[in-house]
Structure 1
Amino acid sequence: MKAIVQERFGPPDILRLAETDRPEIGTGQVLVRVRAAALNPYDWHMMRGDPYVARLLGGMGLTRPRSRVAGIDAAGQVEAVGADVRGLRPGDEVLGFCTGSFAEYARTTADLLVPKPANLTFEQAAAVPMGAVTALRGIRTVGRTQAGQRVLINGAAGGVGTFAVQIAAALGAEVTGVCGTRNVELVRSLGAAHVVDHTREDFTDGRARYDVILDNVGNRPLSRLRRTLTPTGTLVANGGGSPGRVFGAVGSLLRVSAVDVFVRQRLRPILPAAPAGPAREDLLAVTALIEAGTLTPVVDRSYAFADAAEGVRHVERGHARGKAVVTVA
């Protein structure tokens, strides 16, 4: 099969289209014929081996990539199922988490897949898993957002942010989105009652306070974020850091956890929703919102399979509005 592979850590140029063996499946596993795969910040972190501390934690490999084939989000059709798999059969259209999704075929487990909503294309469906589940966990599970609360989303036009704005609005919150000038109308169209253009205003200037802040960017000091919260508000820290740093976002997230012990406000870090936690439950929750017309994936652009490296480069630069995807077949 054809796949986007990497033999070492490095920049997007190390990614190449190559022939490789099709994955074999065992008990409880599913082989997916990938039709489209999302491009996530998670992918370029794995590509670069950044931050270095994550290599020591075992998630990406120590001296070279743990997974030769990149990608984690996928949408496609079930090709084959292993023993003990129930509820899925060849031909079913699905979306979910598939390690090595930048390939014609990817292997995963049944609990990491859900039916693809009929109202989505494969490209839209591929944009859902990591972005939408991270947003759901940040806004609903960790943020505990309630109707009538004031919620601010920093990075509202990004892959997680575009989902988070819609989810918070669906929960009845008064949403403020923070984004750049060119994305103001997009964020407003997703349900934000207020939009802050970060090139003209500083949302941490203390003039407004929020019950929940979802920070997808990590470009403001923790002290200023806390000043923007109500006395008992919740900060959900998702990301921060930059390529090549030893600790990257991990250091920022550890700092949030350490300060939380000493303050009344709730300061909670979250990690990208790679296959961990109640993945199927959360995937079903977001697809239910999609089927109800409450949640719509925002796809910035779609890349041809052979151009996956350019797509990763685009995401790494922070230029994506919503999600970028690769069309595999």
Structure 2
Amino acid sequence: MRIAAYHRYGSPDVVGVEEREEPQPGAGEMRVRVHAASVGSSDAAGRSGTPWFARLAFGLRRPKNAVLGSDFAGVIDAVGPGVTRFAVGDRVFGATGADGGAHAEAIIVSERAAIVSLPDDVAFDAAVAICDGAMTALPFLRDGGRLRPGMRVLVIGASGAVGSAAVQLAAQLGAEVTGVCGPAHVELVASLGARRVIDYTQGDPLQPGATYDVVFDAVGASRFRRARRVLADRGRYLTTVPSWAIMLQQLTSRLGRRRAVIMFTGLRSADAKRPDLEELAALAASGRFAPVLERVLPLDDVAEAHRIVDTGHKAGTVAITPVTQHQEAS
């Protein structure tokens, strides 16, 4: 089978397509033919080895695992002894977490992993966009922000994978959403359910004036100290980007009237992730949630996918298609 592999840290060009023997599932395992996989910011960090703390997960001197990719969607084509939740031919999607391995034509996963059935009317590339963005946005808003109907939410980075999901999910939860993005994506963010959209090239969204119950920075473009100026009493500042400052502020802000929150949603257990995957898939199948895709590229263009992610200006998710529908049919 073909895989996208890298053996040293560096630019997108360190990732290339190689051949590897097709894996076989063991007891309690399944082999999934990967029809789509996301290439996200965590993959870019793992490939480049930056920022420094990325190497704590991916390897201090060189990559521990040659194949990146956590979010995947595809069709089960083999099962090992003892598998009862799924069968050959099932459409599934999920995430491998820190183990990676999804940037390949096939991947071995445990049936107890963060994997669920994929509704027939949700496309494979849309499914990996759910994993890439909404699986971060949902627990941040629900658990970190304690979002309730009528609350006012500011989403910074509202056109990205996490931000575009956050705008839609916050609106679904009954919040009044303001999105922050660049000029090229103002119409997109408005179409996702934001009542107001701020073009960050035209104004500072953290200037005192409007107040918000939740400020969700999905791209690490702000700081808690500045965001406090627009947070309402008992308001919460959420960020997906870890730093020593936010770690300390999460502790110290518990004593104040405005909270700083950092979460590591990818480290949640498979048991915690599966209900969210099922809920989000149902929302997508019903048309109430529309995963946003920037580009869908073949496996051979995996380096280009990394280049798009590195720009920091994509709208939604970048996906690759290791196995195409034509290949599956043949």
TM-score, reference length from structure 2: 0.91
For residues 258-282 of structure 1, the C-alpha deviation after alignment (integer angstroms, 9 at most, x for no partner) is 4323322221102353664611121
- Residue 268 of structure 1, aligned match among 261, 266, 269: 261
Residue identity in the other structure for 1:153: V
The within-5 A match list for 1:55-134 is 55-56=55-56, 59-98=57-96, 99-110=100-111, 111-134=113-136
Residue identity in the other structure for 2:32: V
- The residue that corresponds to 2:209 in the other structure is 207
Whether the 8 Å CA contact 1:112–1:275 is kept in 2: the answer is no
- TM-fit CA distance, 1:156: 0.5
Whether the 8 Å CA contact 2:36–2:128 is kept in 1: the answer is yes
Larger CA deviation: 305-314 vs 252-261: 252-261
Whether the 8 Å CA contact 2:39–2:318 is kept in 1: the answer is yes
Q: If each structure's helix is expressed as a fraction of its own residues, which one has the higher value?
A: 2
Instruction: Give the direction of change, closer, same or farther, for the CA distance of 1:42–1:276 in structure 2 (3 Å limit).
Output: farther
User: Matched residues in 1 for 2:230 and 2:315: separation?
Assistant: 25
Unaligned runs of 5+ in 1: 240-248
Whether the 8 Å CA contact 1:290–1:296 is kept in 2: the answer is yes
User: Matched residues in 1 for 2:244 and 2:308: separation?
Assistant: 25
Whether the 8 Å CA contact 2:182–2:201 is kept in 1: the answer is yes
Residue identity in the other structure for 2:259: R
Whether the 8 Å CA contact 1:123–1:325 is kept in 2: the answer is yes
- Residue 284 of structure 1, aligned match among 271, 278, 287: 278
User: Matched residues in 1 for 2:50 and 2:185: separation?
Assistant: 28
For residues 95-119 of structure 1, the C-alpha deviation after alignment (integer angstroms, 9 at most, x for no partner) is 1114211100012222311111222
Residue identity in the other structure for 1:179: C
- TM-fit CA distance, 1:196: 0.8
Specify the SS of the correspondent of 1:52: coil
User: Matched residues in 1 for 2:92 and 2:196: separation?
Assistant: 35
- The residue that corresponds to 2:29 in the other structure is 29
Whether the 8 Å CA contact 2:2–2:104 is kept in 1: the answer is yes
CA RMSD of the aligned region, Å? Answer: 1.6
Alignment of 1:172 with 2:170, yes or no, is no
- The residue that corresponds to 1:322 in the other structure is 316
Whether the 8 Å CA contact 1:97–1:108 is kept in 2: the answer is no
- TM-fit CA distance, 1:66: 1.7
- Residue 301 of structure 2, aligned match among 297, 302, 307: 307
Specify the SS of the correspondent of 1:119: coil
User: Matched residues in 2 for 1:138 and 1:147: separation?
Assistant: 16
Whether the 8 Å CA contact 1:72–1:274 is kept in 2: the answer is no
User: Matched residues in 1 for 2:39 and 2:55: separation?
Assistant: 21
User: What is the count of residue pairs matched by the alignment?
Assistant: 318
Alignment of 1:231 with 2:236, yes or no, is no
Residue identity in the other structure for 1:70: L
Q: Percent identity?
A: 38
